[in-house]
Structure 1
Amino acid sequence: MTSPMEDLTFVFARLKGLLLTEQTASRAVEDLAEAIKKSVPGSLGAGVSLLDAQGRRRSTGFTDQVVAEADALQYEHGQGPCLTAWAAEVTVQIDDVHADDRWPLWRDAVRHLPLRSTLSTPLIHDGRSIGALKVYSPLPSAFSPQDRKQLELLASPAATLLGNVQADSSAAAVGRALRDAIATRDLVSTARGILMERHGIDNDAAMRRMLSQASATRVDLRTVALSVIDGTAGSPS
């Protein structure tokens, strides 16, 4: 059985091998939403929305019906945390939906849903916001600063993958992307095993170390994995 962190690694690897046309983008956001839900403890559901320059949905993936309903009400009323995260290009956190006055129309519209906490972060690609990731919880104050940091960290590679809608459909291009994705997955798996043995930690803890290192040094996960294998990585807590 794979861990939540492994799920995310494999999703990114799989998405990198896709040609993200309008058809495959839909499958991509669904896979990503499911992996994000598993990676953030206490989540009722998660979603990924790709938006155009006017804030209209291009493609939306969600794990649970409550996410679909809450998102649909944002688009209907033209306000809400996900739309704000997209438009303002900032992470938006709500600790208690019932007590938050920033989006009154949306707050009143979702009052019947089992929804109390939300966390939304923008997807920034080539200097512009193309959508947002979000997680929902039925409990107030459900998301920690670490959850916020993790969602923001996941948004960067997700935006890169989802933003690169490729026009080149040649077999050679697909092959190169797939080989690169598989190589990255294998490097991360090897590095994770080294950290588990070196520090006596489990799968998730090893992945968190590498994600923290990537965030602290502003490099990608492949580079961190290589540094672990080469014995040059630091020891993030």
Structure 2
Amino acid sequence: MQELLRDLSRVALADRPLDEVLGEITAIAARGIPGAEATSITLIRNEKGYTAGHHGEMALAADELQYQEGYGPCLDAGRAGIVLRVDDMRTEQRWPTYVSRVLAVGIRSSMSVPLPYQGTSIGALNNYSTQPGAFASDESLAAGQEVAEAVAVAVANADAHDRLVDQARNMRLAMESRAVIEQAKGVLMAQRRVDAEQAFEILREASQRYNRKLRDIAVGVVASTRSGGR
């Protein structure tokens, strides 16, 4: 577990897409669960789930079947915040439609552990095996819960970092747009002898007339002065 925590702490967040980061986190988590042949992270947003990262195509296939049905161990574990274990898919009766379909994927047992974060569950850590009873031991359950706690923090940190990057990018774009619009207003004020409000109105009307973003119209106006055009 100490090695797993160390590996999670070393996952680089900067300059990487979120899905790549979560994929690495999932691969690390898979090493900490005895019996796991494939592992995935399901995140719950507005009661709906999606696979944020997976290690092994079998896990992704099983998750997708549950999303199609709207229920299943990974979704129910994430929503309710409880551990849901299936020791043998061939005798499981809680999710009959899902079970009949997932057997065709080759899965015989699974264990979904909620991802606890700040007093709630943000999703589930899902583990799958082609062997029945792969997660029946107390060791697997204890490892699953311990790993899920560490993974929940890592996932939340990665998601928060991604949101901050998006906010910074959007702020930079907004500032760039404002700057070029101000430049275009200055050009129009000089060329047409209008005030700032009238110059902005000219840009707005052009944006509506040509169905283009106001920023793009402004860029065109500024570029025309650099090329000597009008």
Structure-1-length-normalised TM-score: 0.62
Aligned to 1:35: 28
1:158 to 121, 141, 151: 151
The Cα of 1:76 is off from its aligned counterpart by 0.3
User: What CA distance in whole angstroms lies between the structure 1 residues aligned with 2:18 and 2:164?
Assistant: 15
Could you tell me which runs of 5 or more consecutive residues in structure 2 were left unpaired when the two chains were aligned: 166-230
Matched, 1:65 2:57: yes
Percent same amino acid among aligned pairs? 29
Does the alignment pair 1:107 with 2:102?
no
Deviation at 1:160, TM superposition (A): 1.9
The reply on whether 1:25 has 2:21 as its aligned counterpart is no
For 1:154-195, what per-residue CA distance to the aligned partner results, in whole angstroms no more than 9, with x for missing partners?
A: 1112212222313555xxxxxxxxxxxxxxxxxxxxxxxxxx
Cα distance between partner residues in 2 of 1:10 and 1:96: 34
> What code does the residue aligned with 1:46 have?
T
Aligned 8 A contact 1:25 1:162 in 2: no
Aligned AA for 1:64?
G
Confirm or deny that 1:9 pairs with 2:5.
yes
Residue 64 of structure 1 deviates from its aligned partner by: 1.2
Cα deviation, residue 63, structure 1: 1.3
- Matched residue, 2:201: none
Q: Which has the higher contact order (CA 8 A, sep 6+)?
A: 1
Structure 1 CA distance for aligned equivalents of residues 17 and 123 of structure 2: 16
**1:32 and 1:48 in contact (8 A); partners too:** no
Contact 1:29 1:61 in 2 (8 A): yes
Distance 1:157 1:44, change over 3 A: closer
Shift of 1:54: 2.2
After superposition, the Cα gap between the structure-2 partners of 1:41 and 1:5, relative to the gap in structure 1 and judged at 3 Å, is farther
The SS at the match of 2:65 is helix
Aligned residues: 161
Tell whether 2:84 aligns with 1:89.
no
Superposed structure 1 runs of 4+ greater than 4 Å apart: none
Q: Which residue of 2 aligns with 1:48?
A: 41
Question: In structure 1, what is the Cα distance between the partners aligned to 2:18 and 2:141?
Answer: 25
Counterpart residue type for residue 80 of structure 1 = G
Which residue number in structure 1 is paired with residue 131 of structure 2? 139
5+ residue gaps in structure 1? 170-237
Partner of 1:207: none
My pick for the range that moved more, 90-99 or 30-39, is 30-39
Cα pair distance change 1:114/1:14, threshold 3 Å: same
